[in-house]
Structures are given as C-alpha cells and as structure tokens.
Chains A and B, each alone.
Chain A
C-alpha cells in the first residue's frame, strides 16, 4: 500500500514514516506545499495523510489537486487546529477522516486501515488470520465457525489490535481509541484490563490461541506468529 504523508514538522514526519515503514507501507513524504503538490501530480498513492497547516500554503487547497489527480485515494487530514470549520471544510472537500494533533500513530494507523478496507473492498472485506475471521462492516468475529459474542468495546479493541499487530500498544492509546481522548486522566488505566481479559477468554474458549500478549508495565501486543 502506497502512502504519502504531508507534514511540515520534520520530526513528526520521521516518526510517522518510521511507524508506517515497519508496518509494511510504502511511505513517501513531503514537508511543504510545493513538494507535496509535485508528488501528487507525479505519482499515484493509495492513501494520503495531509497536514492542512503548511508553511507555504493551505493544505485544504491540496485537497483539490488530490481529487483531480488521485481520484480514489483515501485522505486523512491531520491538524493541530481543533477547529470545527476546518474539520467541516476538510470533510466537505472530500477528505475521508480527520485527526487532531497530538495523536497516537497507532490511532492514525487504525484509521488508515479502516479507510483502506472501505475503499478497496467497498465493505465486503474480511480479515482472516489464524483461526480468526473478522467481518468489519458487520462487526462480527468468527473463530473457525463459531460466532463470538463480543461487546462493542471488545470488537473495537480487537480491530485496533489487529490494525496495529506486532506493535506494542500503550494503555493510553488503547483507552483513547475506545473512550475518546477527552477522558480526563483516570487514576489508573487498569479498567481496560477487564475488557482484555474478557476478550482473551472469549477467543480462547472458542478455540483460538491467545494473540494478545501483555508487555509488562507498558501495554499490550497483538502477535501473530
């Protein structure tokens, strides 16, 4: 999957690039309006991550160029401005998702994956690994042929893990994904443990192996060997 990341902050760009490369994307980068515009005209991308605040131009203008040259590319806008007008404008102009800085890259990744599923398979995608089959649009999970009875949060958790498989996820990024980031620091984040325990239990009882590993003191890792 070919990805273009347009972000003027070099360090952030590097961090995203590193993450995406390890996750198997082909990742291209641009740190200003000119470079970005050029790349949009010259190459073809599946996904574009666009920071709308660029030093030499408004990223929203790039949206038009993307639409013109990259008709079916999925677009995720990232912005430090938590401004609703920007969000509305961005989505109206054809962006598919909007993420406010600062964000966890795991969150960006999960959004990109979800977007890609919708874009490529038009809702018919199934995710299969090991004995597990996930139908994202129907929000159903099968282990072998058994339908798992998962709660909404458990399903979201599984999907989030899968999107960031093999990566260590901090408890915080998981909490923010599940409950939104305006949850004001709960004294401990251990309440996600209950969800995890239930999810693990349901998967293993249905006969699949335990993919969710605890990384002590840090968080969790979804590992498919």
Chain B
C-alpha cells in the first residue's frame, strides 16, 4: 500500500470518528434548543391566550388549544410535559408537548391546555445524518484529490531518490545524482544515503583491489613453484615414489594456478578493465573454438551438430568474447559423457549451446554463482560459469540456463 493511501486511510478513519461524535453533539444540541424553544413558544402562547381571555375572547382549537372555565377555587399552576396522543387527522399516536396552566383571570379560574406536536427524533437524526454523510463524502473527495496532488509534489524528491537507488550498481557506480528537495527529512535521507553509498563503493573497491592484488601476488610464487618442479623432474634416476609425490604437488599447483588465473580474470571483468569493444562475429568465435577443441570432441566421441542459419554479430571485447564462448563450449564438453550430443545453434540474435545429459542439476538457479559445482568431486574450480555470467552482464547479453528433453541448454541473447 502506498504511503499516501495509508495516510489517507487513517485520515478517513479519524474523520469518520469525528463525524460520529459531531453527529451526537449536533443531535443533542439541536434537540436541546428545540425543546427549549418549543417550551418558550408554548409559554408565550399561553401569555397571549391569557391576554385574550382578559379581553373577553376565548379562542379554541382542540386538541391544540383548549380553554376551560373552572368552577370553584383552584390553585394556580403551570405544568409542562410530554404526552402521547392521537392527532386529529390521523390515527397514529404522536408525541406532543403539553402546557397546562390554571390561572385566575377577572375573578374566574381558567385552565388553558396548549399542545404542540414534537418533531420526531428520527427526523432530526435523519437530517443530521444525511448532511453529515454528504459532508463526509465531499471531504473524502477533497482529501483524496489534495493528498494526491500534495504527495505528487511533496514526494517527488523521494521518488527521485528511489529512482537513483534503483539505477545504482556497486560494480559500475555512477555518482548518484540526488536533487535538492528543500525538505529536511529528505535532505537527511539523501545525506545518509550518500554516506552509505560512498562507504559501499569504497569497501567494494577495496575488496576488489584486494582480490586482484592477492591473486596477482600469488602468480609469482606459483610460477616459481611450478618451474622448480619442472626442473626437479629433469633429474635423472629420480626415485619413483618421490616422483609420484612431486607430480601430485605439481597437479595441485596447476589447479591453484588455474583457479588464481580465473579469479584474476573475474576481478578484472568486474572492474571493467577491458574497454576496447568492436563488432564481433560470434559464428567465427564459435568456429575457432570448435577447431581448437575438435580433437577433444572426437576423442570423447561427442556428436557435434552446428546449426548456423544466420550470422550473430554483437559489440563486445574480442578476448572476452573468446573466453565467453570457450568457457561455455568447454563446459558443455566437460559435462558430456562419451557419445553425447553437443548442439550449437546460432541465430542472428541468439546463440544456444546444448549438450545432452540426463542428470538434472540441483540448484540450477545458482549455476552462475562462484564455486557452484554440479559435482563436489569435480576437479574444476567452479568459476567458469561465473566468468561467463560476468562477461554477459558487462556487455548486456542475457544468459539463461534450462533443462529440456534431456538437454542442458545455455542461451545467449545479444
């Protein structure tokens, strides 16, 4: 729910309560004044009648006005009350105010009964209720319109901040451009966000730099170890057991070296050190890689099907394009069993690399994550597809993985 809707809702609930209280107050007030006025009216009228009796006129209008001459002596009294009686023109019983006064005029006692019909409470209620409801709806309409207008204007800087935040990416941090809002809260928010973003960018670049430096610094010692080992194995008549141990070390070093190289590449792609882009014909890149790997494909007895109906051209860095395609094809070959099918389909805007295999990969959503391995005993370092994803991301290429009809498919959309 939008903030402004929530505010409006609370406003309306509050208003409803206010209107309810208002209704009760208005109703009692009107009722009180009405009763008072009616009473005053009846007394005034009684005074008028008394004057008329004084002047020898005896008005009569039953049942509203009855004047009776009383025999004998009576006590003076005034009695005001509410009674129920039938009106003269219909059968319904209604509430009436009744004022009965006994008064001595010119030596005789008179009883004056004045009755006046009371407007029923329901009628008051109805009128008040209707007016309040009408008012209430007018208020809703006004509130909604005003809130909408105000929120559009007032929250404009807020939505701008949101837009800027959506655009923000830590790997390609353009300086966020928060505009001046003139509203204290938003200014504070902006300032905090700017501080936070600066810190994030700083931490991120430190981390990236660290990875790059660490990987970089590892290169030389690894180089030395590897070269020394290659020199050691030249020694004639080395003990076979020793040699085995050395080769085992050499394999580990080799693995480390590849891992390190991939980490370095990943760090480099992330920091977008590769700037030069050019028009790349992916068909050519695919063909070059197939030429390079052809014998491995033959050796594994993989059935290769290439379907290139169109030329796929995209703008990117040549070396990264090569690494991208090489990683995908090598990945497909690596996970193909002997006799499997490897399909390469090239459209003008799409490149699909598929290999047959029956195992569904668990956690296929994480397939592009670092160190995500289909198989833990796998000797690969698990960075190949992470590099693929990073390269795709860098050049705005969409990559998808799917498993359909016993085929693992990687689809690139350029």
Interface of A with B (CB < 8 Å)?
9, 11-12, 15-16, 18-19, 22, 80-84, 101-106, 151, 153, 167-168, 170, 172-173, 179-187, 191, 194-195, 215-219
Contact = CB atoms under 8 A, between A and B. Distances in A.
A172 B293 contact: no
Given A9-B224, A217-B247, A218-B247, A185 B234 contact: no
A12 B334 contact: no
B273 interface: yes
A151 B295 contact: yes
A80 to B, nearest CB: 5
A105 B229 CA distance: 11
Contact of B222 (A102, A167, A185): A102
Given A101-B223, A102-B257, A167-B234, A184 B268 contact: no
B292 A180 contact: yes
Given A101-B223, A184-B331, 7 more contacts: A83-B273, A102-B226, A104-B226, A172-B251, A179-B293, A181-B261, A195-B295
Nearest to B291: A152
Nearest to B255: A185
B151 interface: no
Interface of B: 216, 219-220, 222-224, 226-228, 230-231, 233-234, 240, 243-244, 247, 250-251, 254-255, 257-258, 261, 264-265, 268, 273-274, 276, 292-293, 295-296, 299-300, 319, 323, 326-327, 330-331, 334, 378-381, 384
15 contacts: A11-B224, A12-B224, A12-B227, A15-B227, A18-B231, A102-B222, A105-B230, A105-B231, A106-B230, A151-B295, A168-B234, A182-B261, A186-B296, A191-B299, A217-B240
Given A185-B381, A187-B379, A101 B230 contact: no
Contacts of A195: 295
Given A170-B250, A218-B233, A184 B223 contact: no
Contacts of A9: 220, 223-224
Contact of B219 (A80, A179, A182): A80
